Structure 1
Amino acid sequence: MNSVDEFRTEIRSWLRANLTGEFAALRGRGGPGREHEAFAERLAWERHLAAAGWTCVGWPEKYGGRGATLEQQVAFHEEYALADAPARVNHIGEQLLGPTLIAFGTPEQRERFLPRIVAVDELWCQGYSEPDAGSDLAGVRTRAQLQGGDWVINGQKTWTSLAHESDWCFVVARTEPGSTRHQGLSYLLVPLDQPGVEVRPITQLTGTSEFNEVFFDEARTPASHIVGAPGDGWKVAMATLGFERGVSTLGQQVGFQRELEAVIDLAKQNGAADDPLIRDRIARAWTGLEIIRANALRMLDGVAAGAPGPEASIGKIFWATWHRDLGELAMDVCGADGMLAAGGPYDLTDWQRLFLFSRSDTIYAGSNEIQRNIIAERVLGLPKEVRP
């Protein structure tokens, strides 16, 4: 395997040579609040990545990856972000489900699903949150029961990112009647293109609809499409969330740095930088970005051990709050101009979209409140929160 520097040079050169022609216009497209942008073209780009062996780089070679070391994976995600390459459309399959199947799946599940994730032939979404069980995953009510050779699923999921573009959903459902909280949950792999599944996009503050409601009405999946044993769903789901806090967050921070630099440039151009309070907030934002990176690098020890532990919640709560605050800073730097849309009827500027969508950062993938509970109970060993 190449050294980290050689690996970095290889991916940098490949991106420079391939983000051209039909793909040149995709630079900077997509991402949170902008997943609607050029989706079909970004899918074609991702399959181009796959054909060149640049998807799932951290997976073992026997599962179709490159077997890249942790340091090489960091280099890949940083170089990808530095090249301003388009936002990935296969993130949930590659970064969440794939590692989960490698860790907990059966040989048959790995053989069936992993090659299609590597090739970007099937897209995945995450069926966790529900109307009455958002960040409180243990409160899910979606239920599934075995009938013949199938799991039959009934219930509703919400805030399901990119479900309207996905082929499959990994669903946490209650499979033991009468069970409560963490007990009796199972982790099921469910096809979305079937009778009994309805996907309804949710219009967000940004005017876009990358989140969805997903309704299951007697939907079915084979009995073999359960990851882990029945009742092991909580353990498997927590491992998936740990993988979500993994290496790709280093690339995310390159994007954060680009946003902060753009805010600084705007402040210099429109005179907002003359305000000492604005300068102080910019300095705090820069310091916070360095802390985010330090946190992420520390959390990579958990990735190296197989899956990040509950300490990963520290990084999540910090970057989510930092990014929300950056959106507020951007609006204050814009001043009165921040109140004006780019055009009608609801054409937002990049700053307005950042401000509005970053409000969700402290909610999705576990709200700040839930992250604090995890840190208190599972990291610091404090007494559990009193529940009614």
Structure 2
Amino acid sequence: MTDDDLGELRRQVRDLVGEWRDGDRFRPVCDAWLRSYDTEFSRALADRGWIGLTWPREYGGQARSNRARLVVTEELLRAGAPVAAHWIADRQIGPAVLRYGSPALRERYLPLIAAGAVTFCLGMSETESGSDLASVRTTARPDGDGWLLTGGKIWTSHAHRSTHAYVLCRTGTGGDRHEGLTELIVDMSAPGVTVRPIVDLRGEHHFNEVVFDDVHVPGDHVLGTAGNGWTQVTEQLSFERGGMERVLSTYPLLAATVDACADRRDADAALGEALARLAGLRGLAWRIAGELDAGQAPVHAAAVLKDLGTEFEADVNEIARTVLDVEPDPDADGPAGLLAQGLLAAPGFSIRGGTTEVLRTIIAKGAARSPRRGGDELRELTDDVLGGHGGDPEGLPTLWSTVHGLGWTGVSVPESAGGSGGTLTDLAALVRGLGRHGVSLPLAETVLAARQFAAAGRGLPDGVATVVTGDGIAVTGGRLRGTAARVPWVAAARTLLVYAGDETFAVTADHPGVRVTPGRNLAAEPRDDVTVDVPVTDGMRLTGAAPAGTVRAEAALLTAAALTGALETAVEHTRQHVTTREQFGRPLLAFQAVGQTLARMTAHTLLAGTALDAALAGPDPLRVAAARVLTGRAATLVARGAHQLHGAMGVTREHPLHLSTRRLWSWRDENGTQQFWARTLGAALVPRGSAGVWSWLTDEETDS
């Protein structure tokens, strides 16, 4: 099997999981990666080379990609399989040994981990430290050719079952408390190690308190360099945060809920929104895996995934509880039992691997440090052309002649049809630029019409064009009649592309049978009502144009692009404001509440952009629906957060923030509301059942 055969790898993992599940060798549970422990199952995975999958072959690995590992882990997690025995060693300790361990440590431990023969627990947290790892008090002092380890760790999962522990301890002192920290590999059978059980909310024993009383650790069991532990541990936490276990802890419950609702339509909106969020998070995990394969360290993206992922998997409990109207029952099978498991596990979701507050501090600091990205040439071009032209449109802006002269109105239209060539992705980049700079132009509308003129083999429309769709217009008695509400830019258009049922017509906007009632949206952009009553002629028909549903989906996709651009600028205005404006002698960003809000804005904007990229990658209209749900959610959160952090400065038109936020409030409900797209997604996916939903979620089957 080659490294590109991710589909075959996925099938093999499903076969193994199905064999064990059908043989009653495990029951799917929520939070399985922490709570469901079975060394035999881990060894069955090891026998197939699925532990240490990305490691070099000389250390027992398969030298495969991080995306291959993602395929394995997400198939195990979605099944609620018993993977806890090897999870920490495979996810975190092995990569740390591979990166920082001496050749002797690699040769000793990596093959044993890959074989499922050595298991690890994490010795990080301490009773007085909480999430502040830099305050650890466990110490190690030199002892001949090794160290004597003294202190204690708490909430150490599976310490009573693990053969070894990773321990963060203090071996030196300095002016900076981040100095002098060291990572050790400790044999849990060594004299002086005591493990005391801690029972969790579910009445289960996986937590422990571990006490080290002068435990001898060989000198060659230092991971990396003594005193460099802080740098190493913060990098290792990105391995812990960037995986799908931060998203799929309650997936067995979500799957059971989807299956229970497969024949119901009243839950489409709630489940559709949940599936949009899951698709976005899975897309972010796919991106992180790709960046790891490219040798990058996506610490910021991993923190976002963990933050939004743990929020999602906790929300699954409430979605299931509301949709199914079921009482949690810890002794039941099916959704009631899974709900009980999820509810009792959920308090730990936002704590383990770094609390939500810590993660949002990381995200906020990352946002504050990084200048807004430039990127590709098309982005730079849009910034050059559109910069400084934002504002409320008064009629057709003079900038229109510039973008028309640059050929933007023909982007994604074949050159053979008179267009400028390129793809819909190129057009989306231009529209995203309009959103980023608060510029209102009928670009999307004109190009969408031009694409259909080209498909029909007709010359492109002259000047501004717009698309009129909806159920209000029909052909009756040989006349095209009806009214469509809130159509963009009708008053400025020369040509109307009108859909009536399965037929498409080109109507000149100045036809005597066309009547326009001007209107506008919250951003003062034209949204006009148009009434048509014109005789149908053969010259009006556009044979070969795409169906109305296709054009609506393209319009919705471009709206998502515009929303993403406006999101980026709203976040950027806020970043600049909170890093430069001071209150009580400190920058606003120094206040935790401010940093938390900026982090949420940043995270949801990243997720929206990820969903947009997925929608642009292929012709799947359900990806468009997911992008519209996530950009709509982000628009609400970002606009609210931006105004909260700008205070009084943001509620006037003296500050340019309003050019973004008024567009966010308008565009999130145009070309289909967020609720409409959530219902659309749910209605399409829920009847497929959980197996069909999963197939849709995981349709990338190559490493490219």
TM-score, with structure 2 as normaliser: 0.48
SS of match in other structure, 1:154: strand
In the alignment, what sits opposite 2:231?
235
Q: In the TM superposition, what is the alpha-carbon distance from 1:115 to its structure 2 partner?
A: 1.3
In the alignment, what sits opposite 1:322?
312
Describe the superposition over 1:76-132 as per-residue Cα deviations: whole angstroms up to 9, x where unpaired.
Answer: 334445666433420111110111111111101111111111111111011111112
In the alignment, what sits opposite 1:299?
288
User: Is the Cα contact below 8 Å between 1:33 and 1:210 reproduced in 2?
Assistant: no
Moved more, 67-76 or 15-24: 15-24
The 5-angstrom pairing of residues 120-159 of structure 1 reads 120-159=116-155
SS of match in other structure, 1:165: coil
User: Is the Cα contact below 8 Å between 2:51 and 2:61 reproduced in 1?
Assistant: yes
In the alignment, what sits opposite 1:353?
341
Moved more, 322-331 or 126-135: 322-331
Is 1:197 matched with 2:193?
A: yes
SS of match in other structure, 1:292: helix
Q: Could you say if the C-alpha distance between residues 341 and 237 of structure 1 is closer, same or farther in structure 2, counting changes exceeding 3 Å? A: closer
Is 1:377 matched with 2:365?
A: yes
Describe the superposition over 1:29-51 as per-residue Cα deviations: whole angstroms up to 9, x where unpaired.
Answer: 466268555x4xx2112212223
In the alignment, what sits opposite 1:218?
214
User: Is the Cα contact below 8 Å between 1:162 and 1:212 reproduced in 2?
Assistant: yes
Is 1:290 matched with 2:279?
A: yes
Q: Give me the whole-angstrom Cα distance separating, in 1, the residues matched to 2:277 and 2:310.
A: 11
Residue 274 of structure 2 aligns to which amino acid in structure 1?
A: A
User: Is the Cα contact below 8 Å between 1:175 and 1:185 reproduced in 2?
Assistant: yes
Describe the superposition over 1:291-342 as per-residue Cα deviations: whole angstroms up to 9, x where unpaired.
Answer: 211221232244222543233101100000111111233333454623x553
- Which of 241, 254, 258 is the aligned partner of 1:260? 254
Q: Give me the whole-angstrom Cα distance separating, in 1, the residues matched to 2:240 and 2:20.
A: 32
Q: Give me the whole-angstrom Cα distance separating, in 1, the residues matched to 2:116 and 2:285.
A: 27
Residue 286 of structure 2 aligns to which amino acid in structure 1?
A: L
Q: Give me the whole-angstrom Cα distance separating, in 1, the residues matched to 2:83 and 2:274.
A: 24
In the alignment, what sits opposite 1:2?
2
Quote the RMSD (CA, aligned, Å): 3.0
Q: Give me the whole-angstrom Cα distance separating, in 2, the residues matched to 1:195 and 1:23.
A: 42
SS of match in other structure, 1:173: strand
User: Is the Cα contact below 8 Å between 2:30 and 2:342 reproduced in 1?
Assistant: no
Number of residue-to-residue matches in the alignment: 371
Please identify the structure whose Cα radius of gyration is greater: 2
Q: In the TM superposition, what is the alpha-carbon distance from 1:61 to its structure 2 partner?
A: 1.4
Q: Give me the whole-angstrom Cα distance separating, in 2, the residues matched to 1:51 and 1:261.
A: 29
* Percent identical residues: 31
Q: Could you say if the C-alpha distance between residues 80 and 35 of structure 1 is closer, same or farther in structure 2, counting changes exceeding 3 Å? A: closer
In the alignment, what sits opposite 1:112?
108
Q: Could you say if the C-alpha distance between residues 300 and 25 of structure 1 is closer, same or farther in structure 2, counting changes exceeding 3 Å? A: same
Q: In the TM superposition, what is the alpha-carbon distance from 1:14 to its structure 2 partner?
A: 6.5
User: Is the Cα contact below 8 Å between 2:154 and 2:210 reproduced in 1?
Assistant: yes
Q: Give me the whole-angstrom Cα distance separating, in 1, the residues matched to 2:21 and 2:340.
A: 29
Moved more, 328-337 or 363-372: 328-337
Q: Could you say if the C-alpha distance between residues 138 and 310 of structure 1 is closer, same or farther in structure 2, counting changes exceeding 3 Å? A: farther
Q: Could you say if the C-alpha distance between residues 102 and 77 of structure 1 is closer, same or farther in structure 2, counting changes exceeding 3 Å? A: same
The 5-angstrom pairing of residues 10-21 of structure 1 reads 10=9, 12-13=11-12, 16=15, 20=19
Q: Give me the whole-angstrom Cα distance separating, in 2, the residues matched to 1:144 and 1:245.
A: 28
Moved more, 308-317 or 182-191: 308-317
Q: Could you say if the C-alpha distance between residues 14 and 329 of structure 1 is closer, same or farther in structure 2, counting changes exceeding 3 Å? A: closer
User: Is the Cα contact below 8 Å between 2:54 and 2:66 reproduced in 1?
Assistant: yes
Residue 316 of structure 1 aligns to which amino acid in structure 2?
A: K
User: Is the Cα contact below 8 Å between 1:206 and 1:353 reproduced in 2?
Assistant: yes
The 5-angstrom pairing of residues 96-111 of structure 1 reads 96-111=92-107
SS of match in other structure, 1:101: helix
Q: Could you say if the C-alpha distance between residues 309 and 171 of structure 1 is closer, same or farther in structure 2, counting changes exceeding 3 Å? A: same
Moved more, 328-337 or 21-30: 21-30
User: Is the Cα contact below 8 Å between 2:321 and 2:339 reproduced in 1?
Assistant: yes
Q: In the TM superposition, what is the alpha-carbon distance from 1:23 to its structure 2 partner?
A: 8.3
Q: Could you say if the C-alpha distance between residues 176 and 354 of structure 1 is closer, same or farther in structure 2, counting changes exceeding 3 Å? A: same
Q: Give me the whole-angstrom Cα distance separating, in 2, the residues matched to 1:23 and 1:280.
A: 33
TM-score, with structure 1 as normaliser: 0.85
